[in-house]
C-alpha cells in the first residue's frame, strides 16, 4: 500500500467535537504491519488530550490507543506476524530502542521519549494519528498478539487500561496475602479489580458511591466502600499494602495514604489535569511510598494479554458506533461508563 487516506474520527481543534475525516497512513515498510482496525477503546486519556487538559495538544487529533484488529499486509522483513493474525497496538509505536529502559523492555520510559500512538510526532517530526480509524501501519516490534481466547472487542481496552493496572500490580506484588484497594471503578479501575483478584490479592473497591457495588463484587472485589462517606477513611485506616488510584481528577493524597499499612504504597495511575497537594507527614509516618506508573512495555503488554486470556479476563464493554463518540465522552466525564466504550471501526 502506498500512502493512502483512510477513514477516521478527529477533533479538528482543542475542545472541538470529533467528526469524520480521513487520515494519511504511510506505506508499509520492511518491518511494518498494516492493521485493519476492528475496535478502538475510548480511554479517559483521549478526553484529557482532545480537550487539551494536559496542554500542547497537536490538532487535528485522531485519538485512540486501545487498538485491536487483524493484520492485512506485512512488510518483506516482518518475521513475527502474518496476514490474518489478531493483533493489538497500545499507547506507543516507537522508541529509541537503545537506551537502558528500551533494552530492558520498559520502552514507555525511553530516555528520548517514546513515540505516542497519537498526539505525538514520529522521528521525522510528522504528526501521529491514532486508532479511531479503519487502518494503521505499525512496526512489528510495537505490535502485540491478541490470544485466540480473547474476543477482539473486549481485548481492545487491555492495550491501555489492562496494562496500566497489570504493570503496577505486578511491580508492587499484588498477590495472595496482600490487601489491595482500587480507587475509581471506571475503565482502568474495573480491569484493576479483575487483574488483582486473578493475581490472588484481597481486593477492595473505593468508589465515590455504592452505585456500582454489585458490579465491583462480581468483578472480583471482596469489599466495596464509598469515598463520599468520611467513615470509610476511619474504618479502613492502616488496612492496605497497596492502593492504586485510577481517578482522573485531583485526589486528596493524605486521606488515601492514611489507608496504608506501614511500608504500604499509594500508586497513582490517574493523570489529573491539575497538581495535587501533599502533607509530607503522610509518608514519613509509616515509611510509606507515594508512586506513579505509566502503561507498560511491549513484552509486559504481551505477558498481560496472555495472562488475561488464561484467566478469561476481557474488559466489560459497551460497543458504540463512531457517531456516538462525543456522547460517550460526556458519559465518561460523568463517571457513567460500564466500564469501557469501544468503537466498532466498521462504523467509521
200 sits in the region (left: phi over 0; alpha: psi -120 to 50; else beta) called left
CA distance 332 to 156: 17
Q: What is the DSSP letter of 11?
A: B
Stretch that binds ligand NAP, among 26-34, 146-154, 232-240, 292-300 (CB under 6 A): 292-300
- Answer for which of 323, 335, 338, 344 binds ligand NAP (CB under 6 A) is 335
First-residue to last-residue Cα distance in the chain: 20
Q: What does the DSSP 8-state code read for residue 121?
A: B
Q: Which residue among 13, 83, 237, 249 contacts ligand NAP (CB under 6 A)?
A: 249
In the block, cell 489507608 appears at 259
Question: Which residue in the set 63, 64, 162, 184 belongs to the binding site for ligand NAP (CB under 6 A)?
Answer: 184
Q: Of Zn ion, ligand NAP, none, which one does residue 21 interact with (CB within 5 to 8 Å by kind)? A: none
Q: Whose grid coordinates read 488530550? A: 49
- Cα-based angle 281, 283, 289 (whole degrees, multiple of 5): 170
Report CA 14 to chain centroid distance, whole Å.
22
* Region from 20-28, 39-47, 115-123, 169-177 binding ligand NAP, contact rule CB under 6 A: 39-47
Instruction: State yes or no: residue 43 binds Zn ion (CB under 5 A).
Output: yes
User: Closer CB to ligand NAP, residue 81 or residue 166?
Assistant: 166
Q: ∠ CA 268-271-272 to the nearest 5 degrees? A: 115
Nearer to Zn ion, 43 or 283 (CB): 43
Task: Pick the piece of the chain touching Zn ion (CB under 5 A) from 54-62, 92-100, 159-167, 249-257.
Answer: 159-167
Cell numbers placing 231: 467513615
Question: Could you tell me which residues are beta bridge partners of residue 317?
Answer: 340
Residue span binding Zn ion (CB under 5 A) among the ranges 45-53, 138-146, 221-229, 333-341 = 45-53
Torsion of CA 159, 300, 276, 288, to 10 degrees: 150
- Number of residue whose CB is nearest ligand NAP: 186
Residue 109, CA distances (Å) to 26, 94, 100, 206, 252 in order: 26, 12, 9, 29, 27
Task: State the binding string over 108-147 for Zn ion (x if CB under 5 A, else -).
Answer: ----------------------------------------
Identify which range of 38-46, 48-56, 122-130, 170-178 contacts Zn ion by CB under 5 A: 38-46
43 vs 195, which CB is nearer to Zn ion? 43
User: % helix / strand / coil in the chain, to the nearest 5?
Assistant: 30, 30, 45
Contact pattern for ligand NAP over residues 145 through 174, marking x by CB under 6 A: ---------------xx--x----------
Geometric angle at alpha carbon 88, from 85 and 91, rounded to 5°:
160
Measured between alpha carbons, how far is residue 231 from residues 4, 6, 207, 225, 235 in Å?
58, 53, 14, 10, 6
Q: Please, which of residues 200-219 interact with ligand NAP by CB under 6 A? A: 207-208, 212
| Shortest distance, position 164 Cβ to Zn ion, whole Å | 7
Q: Give 43 or 322: the residue with its C-beta nearer to Zn ion.
A: 43
List residues binding ligand NAP (CB under 6 A).
43-45, 48, 160-161, 164, 184-189, 207-208, 212, 246-249, 269-272, 293-295, 332, 335, 337
Amino acid at each position: 500500500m502506498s500512502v493512502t487516506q483512510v477513514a477516521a474520527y478527529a477533533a479538528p481543534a482543542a475542545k472541538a467535537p470529533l467528526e469524520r475525516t480521513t487520515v494519511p497512513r504511510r506505506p508499509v515498510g520492511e518491518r511494518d504491519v498494516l492493521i485493519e482496525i476492528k475496535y478502538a477503546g475510548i480511554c479517559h486519556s483521549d478526553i484529557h488530550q482532545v480537550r487539551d487538559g494536559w496542554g500542547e495538544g497537536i490538532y487535528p487529533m485522531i485519538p485512540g490507543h486501545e487498538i485491536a484488529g487483524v493484520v492485512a499486509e506485512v512488510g518483506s522483513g516482518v518475521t513475527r506476524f502474518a496476514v490474518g493474525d489478531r493483533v493489538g497496538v497500545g499507547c506507543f509505536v516507537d522508541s529509541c530502542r537503545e537506551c537502558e529502559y528500551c533494552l530492558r523492555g520498559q520502552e514507555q520510559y525511553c530516555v528520548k521519549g517514546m513515540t505516542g500512538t497519537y498526539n505525538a510526532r514520529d522521528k521525522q517530526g510528522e504528526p501521529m494519528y491514532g486508532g479511531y480509524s479503519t487502518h494503521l501501519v505499525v512496526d512489528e516490534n510495537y505490535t502485540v498478539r491478541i490470544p485466540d481466547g480473547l474476543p477482539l472487542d473486549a481485548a481492545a481496552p487491555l492495550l491501555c487500561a489492562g496494562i496500566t493496572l497489570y504493570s503496577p500490580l505486578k511491580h508492587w506484588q499484588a498477590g495472595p496475602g496482600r490487601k489491595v484497594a482500587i480507587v475509581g471503578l471506571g475503565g482502568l479501575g474495573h480491569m484493576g479489580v479483575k487483574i488483582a483478584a486473578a493475581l490472588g490479592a484481597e481486593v477492595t473497591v473505593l468508589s465515590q458511591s455504592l452505585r456500582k457495588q454489585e458490579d465491583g463484587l462480581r468483578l472480583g472485589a471482596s469489599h466495596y466502600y464509598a469515598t463520599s462517606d468520611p467513615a470509610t477513611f476511619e474504618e479502613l485506616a492502616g488496612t492496605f499494602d497497596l492502593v492504586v488510584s485510577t481517578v482522573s481528577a485531583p485526589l486528596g493524597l493524605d486521606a488515601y495514604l492514611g489507608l496504608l499499612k506501614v511500608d504500604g504504597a499509594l500508586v497513582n495511575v490517574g493523570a489529573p489535569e491539575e497538581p495535587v497537594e501533599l502533607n509530607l507527614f503522610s509518608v514519613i509516618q509509616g515509611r510509606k511510598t507515594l508512586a506513579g506508573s505509566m502503561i507498560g512495555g511491549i513484552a509486559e503488554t504481551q505477558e498481560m494479554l496472555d495472562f488475561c486470556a488464561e484467566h478469561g479476563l476481557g474488559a466489560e464493554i459497551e460497543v458504540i458506533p463512531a457517531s456516538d463518540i462525543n456522547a460517550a465522552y460526556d458519559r465518561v466525564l460523568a463517571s457513567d461508563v460500564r466500564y469501557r466504550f469501544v468503537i466498532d471501526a466498521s462504523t467509521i
